[in-house]
Amino acid sequence: MAKCHRNHIGSIVFDRPSATTTTSVNHFRLWTAFSGAAFRRKFFDAVSCGASSRHRHQLVQEVLNDTAPQPTPPPTTTIKSVLKESNETKTADRVVKKPNKSGKPEKLADLLNLAEAETDAETKKKVEALEELKRVVKELQVEEEENKRKAASRIRLLTKEDSEARVTLAMLGTIPPLVAMLDFEDSDSQIAALYALLNLGIGNDANKAAILKAGAVHKMLKLIESPNAPSPAVSDAIVANFLGLSALDSNKPIIGSSGAIPFLVKTLKILDRESRSQARQDALRALYNLSISRSNISFILEADLIPLLLNALGDMEVSERILSILSNVVSTPEGRKGIGTAPEAFPILVDVLNWTDSPGCQEKASYILMVMAHKAYGDRRAMIDAGIVSLLLELTLLGSTLAQKRASRILEVLRVDKGKQVSENFGGSMSAAVSAPICGSSSSSTNPNGKECLVEEEGMMSEEKKAVKQLVQQSLQNNIRRIVNRANLPQDFVPSEHFKSLTASSTSKSLPF
């Protein structure tokens, strides 16, 4: 390829004119004396050497058109005229867009206009919603009870799923008029006001505190204690409000000391004989919330709730909630005393480990029994008499991770307690017996009286070994009986002689301590 020194094609494509054809040294004319193929080859070489890329395509097209069999262009055509025509053609084809008045590109302006339109629509919608809320509050403040009831029903719908409406309506002062509606004789108005207050407090602690401060708890209890007992619908609405208000920690002591717990317990007794499942669940959940506050444990015990809860265990719909309440009650000394003195408390709690496969029930029941076992020797004896050992052994193998840990802790407490009992039976000489050399050890070989010591230790430890052996055999027998029941084997099933030999030779090492 030829070497090019300038970014134009005049020196190769065009020859200099003779003196007879032009008088200007600055003009060139097209050279058409050679063939079209040779001309195109020379033109290609020139373009490849760095001709201007801006007008390259246009010049190639113009030159190719000139080499085609067309009329010969006038001899006065120059390279400047070609470039000028090319520039004029591109300028004519170019569409010049005028900027908009704002000086911004059209697409950006369209996006901004769309965003402004959406913002205006949202603002308009919010303004309309605010005006509607103001109208509802205005209707709530009129004298006519019918308008108040309609306004309360409207507030109930508006606040059901709209958190912003709850905040706005509370700021507009809807809570005091709704609380005042609880004094009406009309049960429909009472229900509308109660559920409006309930929805206002959903997920809003400030509204919960404002509802209690406005005297809602006092008016609800007054409604309950009136000579005319409230209808079941009103009672269920009151229970639901106690549930919502008791979720706030600062409200728990106030509600508990107000007399709400006896009402909830009474309602729970009534609901046990009826089919209002939702109200029953709400009452239990409200009692659970109140039991979290330690100051309310005394009120729970005074309301005689513990026997009611223990007797209700076994109903899978409410058992886990009941065990949750008892887990809170057992955290105080008076609560433990109340559970320990309840009729058949330990057989019922131990039996929970027998019939339930729910991890939640197993964990909560084992927690209650673990706390009770750690605190009182009499409770441990009652647990053993109820057959807790075999159930705990099974729980350490089949229960959830947390239930296994708690069952092992209870077994450890029972084992230590058994050791203390044996030590006391031997007048406190167990420490000396435990420190005696073991048969076959190096110390016994150096002690000439080692055999006598071993005989004495064996005699002193025989009672403990017998107790542990009896405990293990009882556990294994209970477990094999349960396995037989689960496998639907005949009731007269007799274990093999090999199994009998295993149970007879078992030692305390079998216990998972």
The yes-or-no verdict on residue 323 having pLDDT over 90 is: yes
Tell which residue, 364, 358, 368, has the closest CA to residue 398.
358
pLDDT band of 506, cuts 50, 70, 90: very low
Q: What are phi and psi of 305, to 5 degrees?
A: -80, -30
pLDDT (0 to 100) of residue 416: 77
Structure confidence by residue, pLDDT tens digits, 244-260: 999 999 999 999 999 99
Q: For 141-155, 243-257, 352-366, 463-477, which range has the lowest pLDDT when averaged over its residues?
A: 463-477
pLDDT (0 to 100) of residue 377: 84
Structure confidence by residue, pLDDT tens digits, 121-145: 778 788 888 888 999 999 998 888 8
Across 7-16, 106-115, 279-288, 493-502, the highest mean pLDDT is recorded for 279-288
Cβ–Cβ under 8 Å, residues 149 and 188:
yes
Dist CA 395 CA 408 (whole Å): 9
CB count within 10 Å of CB 263 equals 21
Structure confidence by residue, pLDDT tens digits, 494-503: 555 544 444 4
Cβ–Cβ under 8 Å, residues 18 and 35:
no
pLDDT (0 to 100) of residue 420: 55
Dist CA 218 CA 73 (whole Å): 110
Domain limits, the chain: 119-214
pLDDT band of 39, cuts 50, 70, 90: low
CB half-sphere exposure, 291, CA atoms < 13 A: 29
pLDDT (0 to 100) of residue 85: 53
H-helix segments, 75-144: 79-93, 106-140
The yes-or-no verdict on residue 269 having pLDDT over 60 is: yes
Mean pLDDT of 218-240: 91
Q: What is the mean pLDDT of the chain?
A: 74
Which has the higher per-residue pLDDT, 245 or 106? 245
CB count within 10 Å of CB 417 equals 14
Mean pLDDT of 166-170: 94
CB half-sphere exposure, 11, CA atoms < 13 A: 11
pLDDT (0 to 100) of residue 488: 55
The yes-or-no verdict on residue 25 having pLDDT over 70 is: no
Structure confidence by residue, pLDDT tens digits, 109-124: 776 677 777 777 778 7
pLDDT band of 373, cuts 50, 70, 90: very high
pLDDT (0 to 100) of residue 454: 38
CA 285, 287, 293: angle at the middle one, nearest 5? 115
The yes-or-no verdict on residue 305 having pLDDT over 90 is: yes
Which has the higher per-residue pLDDT, 492 or 389? 389
- Cα-Cα-Cα-Cα dihedral sign, residues 265, 266, 271, 277: negative
Cβ–Cβ under 8 Å, residues 280 and 271:
yes
- Cα-Cα-Cα-Cα dihedral sign, residues 292, 295, 296, 302: positive
pLDDT (0 to 100) of residue 273: 62
The yes-or-no verdict on residue 13 having pLDDT over 70 is: no
pLDDT (0 to 100) of residue 35: 55
Mean pLDDT of 180-197: 94
Tell which residue, 310, 328, 331, has the closest CA to residue 375.
331
pLDDT band of 153, cuts 50, 70, 90: very high
Structure confidence by residue, pLDDT tens digits, 446-464: 444 444 443 444 444 455 5
pLDDT (0 to 100) of residue 314: 86
pLDDT band of 52, cuts 50, 70, 90: very low
Q: What percent of the chain has pLDDT over 90?
A: 44
Dist CA 60 CA 491 (whole Å): 108
pLDDT (0 to 100) of residue 123: 81
Cβ–Cβ under 8 Å, residues 506 and 473:
yes
pLDDT band of 12, cuts 50, 70, 90: very low
- Could you tell me which CATH number the domain at 119-214 has? 1.25.10.10
Q: What are phi and psi of 496, to 5 degrees?
A: -70, 165
Cβ–Cβ under 8 Å, residues 171 and 208:
no
Cβ–Cβ under 8 Å, residues 411 and 389:
yes
Token output for 426: 């031997």
Dist CA 152 CA 195 (whole Å): 9
Q: For 95-104, 273-282, 483-492, which range has the lowest pLDDT when averaged over its residues?
A: 95-104
Which has the higher per-residue pLDDT, 460 or 205? 205
